[in-house]
Amino acid sequence: MERYNFDTNQMLICGQGNVPKDCGYEVPWTYFSPRVGLAWRATDTLVVRAGYGINYDPYPLAFVRDLIGNYPSGLNLNLTAPNSFSYVAPLKSGIPAIVVPDISTGVIPVPAAYSARSLTQRVSRGYIESFNFTIQKQLPGNFTAQAGYVASRQIHISQILNLNAGQVLGAGQNGQPYFQKFGRTAETAILGPVGTNKYDSLQTTLTKRFAKGYQLNMVYTWSKVIGICCDELSDGAPRVQALNYFNLNRALMPYDRTHNFNTSFVAELPFGNGKRFLNHGVASAIAGGWQVNGLLSIYSGSPFSVTASDTLSMPGSNQRADQVKPEVAIYGDPSMYFDPTAFAGVSGARFGTAGYDSLRGPGTRNLDFSIYRTFRFTERVSAQFRAEAFNVTNTPHFSNPSANASNLQLNSDGSVRNLGGFTTITSTSGIGREGVDERLFRFGLRIAF
């Protein structure tokens, strides 16, 4: 590893020259992760549970995308031809040698064209607090119900913050601190305890154990998650990296789903030997042994931001549109998902008034269904035929709409002349099935012996 010195624009090469092997990083040893749980059986059919725990962020701080590619571990060679119809040099001349810097002293200056990332000298790992309180009740008919408050707090999570991002609206590169100091326009970032988010939820379940030929599971979650917009994996950067405007990052996270309902069932059809109907003769042989299964998912759409052409002239921060109506009508039509006149582009060096992730995209409804039939040839040999249909209703699952307000063109009376793609949905999501959204049939035969 290396450590970038933000005061001198030098890279310290760990273990070279007079630089210690740990580059002077200080790693605390107090990362204990206590957990405690409690279960109390109040009655024979009622159980109360509670739990709390702390887990430190396991994010690998030397992850290749963030630190290992620092100069001089990674060296660039950029060759420019005289024009787009010409070459730099003939192949017989070979590729010019890359100049490798002398690292024997352990301290080398970083060229302005190279980005640099470093940890804080005193390494701080973020942590996740998790806590829950649930009540479980056994009901008549082999049903069990549970409801609980489940929450987590992610605190001081490692995230990339470009300290050379523009800090002054309208100043361009002149507002970048390390351009003023060292002539650097490249990213000069710290991987530090920047991220945070807060998750709260009501989680409920209703379960029926398999009995009398069927089984049922129902799950509903009502939740909200707010954090620093909009990094999901701690390997990205906040939308706004200017420190004086950092509070603008607080928003719903992209994976927030207010309502999430899922139910699954398994049911043996009541026909055939030992069943209620058609339990003997030829009809039993034909109709017996069938089983149906289903999985229904219904959940809210994901949040998205309404953007605008960048007028900030502040590198490292993303522009937002102006919201010009207090309420935004959601039409739900893929050709115009929301009211385009509720937003406008931004003029001047300022942030738009629309918050990040202020709107929510289309929700999802999906039903998968299958039917099985088991044929028994002997006591030890059987065959099972399976017919499965994914998205059996062939319902499209729309992605979020295009949301750049600067593409909108209005007439002089304020009516829409051309959307320019604004508010329009142009794609579907694959519901975790490798991009396949349309109805899909699958057939199979399983032999057991």
**What ranges do the domains of the chain cover?**
258-449
- What is the pairing mode between strands 188-211 and 116-119? parallel
The answer to whether residue 111 scores a pLDDT higher than 70 is yes
Predicted pLDDT of residue 283: 67
Encoding tokens for residue 281?
């003769």
Whole-number Å distance between alpha carbons of 360 and 365: 15
The answer to whether residue 65 scores a pLDDT higher than 90 is no
pLDDT: which is higher, 183 or 278:
183
Predicted pLDDT of residue 192: 83
The answer to whether residue 337 scores a pLDDT higher than 60 is yes
Strongest mean pLDDT among 138-142, 277-281, 296-300 = 296-300
Predicted pLDDT of residue 58: 76
Whole-number Å distance between alpha carbons of 189 and 118: 7
The answer to whether residue 394 scores a pLDDT higher than 90 is yes
Estimate to the nearest angstrom the gap between the alpha carbon of 151 and the chain centroid. Answer: 18
Predicted pLDDT of residue 4: 92
> Could you tell me the CA-to-CA distances from 264 to 15, 18, 260, 261, 280 in Å, in that order?
57, 64, 14, 10, 31
Q: What's the whole-number mean pLDDT along residues 414-437?
A: 87
Q: What is the pTM of this model?
A: 0.86
Whole-number Å distance between alpha carbons of 118 and 121: 9
Estimate to the nearest angstrom the gap between the alpha carbon of 365 and the chain centroid. Answer: 20
Whole-number Å distance between alpha carbons of 116 and 161: 11
Predicted pLDDT of residue 201: 98
Give 124-160 pLDDT, tens digit per residue.
Answer: 888 999 999 999 999 998 899 999 999 999 998 888 8
User: Across 249-317, where does the E strand assignment appear?
Assistant: 250-252, 259-268, 290-299, 303-304
Whole-number Å distance between alpha carbons of 130 and 200: 10
Whole-number Å distance between alpha carbons of 272 and 264: 24
Q: What's the whole-number mean pLDDT along residues 250-270?
A: 93
Give 208-239 pLDDT, tens digit per residue.
Answer: 988 888 899 999 999 999 999 887 766 678 99
The answer to whether residue 320 scores a pLDDT higher than 60 is yes
The answer to whether residue 64 scores a pLDDT higher than 50 is no
Q: What's the whole-number mean pLDDT along residues 86-107?
A: 90
User: How many C-beta atoms surround the C-beta of residue 93 within 10 A?
Assistant: 8
pLDDT: which is higher, 282 or 10:
10
Report the C-alpha dihedral over residues 162, 167, 169, 172, rounded to 10 degrees. Answer: -70
The answer to whether residue 422 scores a pLDDT higher than 80 is yes
294 pLDDT band, cuts 50/70/90, is very high
User: The tokens 């957990």 sit on which residue?
Assistant: 35
Predicted pLDDT of residue 279: 72
Q: What's the whole-number mean pLDDT along residues 346-352?
A: 94
Q: What's the whole-number mean pLDDT along residues 276-300?
A: 81
Residues 151, 131: contact at Cβ < 8 Å?
yes
Q: What's the whole-number mean pLDDT along residues 57-82?
A: 76
Predicted pLDDT of residue 66: 60
pLDDT: which is higher, 232 or 321:
321
Residues 252, 200: contact at Cβ < 8 Å?
no
Whole-number Å distance between alpha carbons of 305 and 251: 10
> Could you tell me the CA-to-CA distances from 243 to 155, 219, 226, 236 in Å, in that order?
18, 41, 19, 16
- What is the pairing mode between strands 46-56 and 35-43? antiparallel
Predicted pLDDT of residue 195: 85
SS3 (DSSP) at 92: helix
pLDDT: which is higher, 58 or 385:
385
Predicted pLDDT of residue 235: 66
Predicted pLDDT of residue 397: 94
Give 19-55 pLDDT, tens digit per residue.
Answer: 999 888 888 888 899 999 999 999 999 999 999 999 9
Burial class (CB in 10 A: 0-12, 13-18, 19+), 420: middle
Estimate to the nearest angstrom the gap between the alpha carbon of 101 and the chain centroid. Answer: 39
User: The tokens 């749980």 sit on which residue?
Assistant: 37
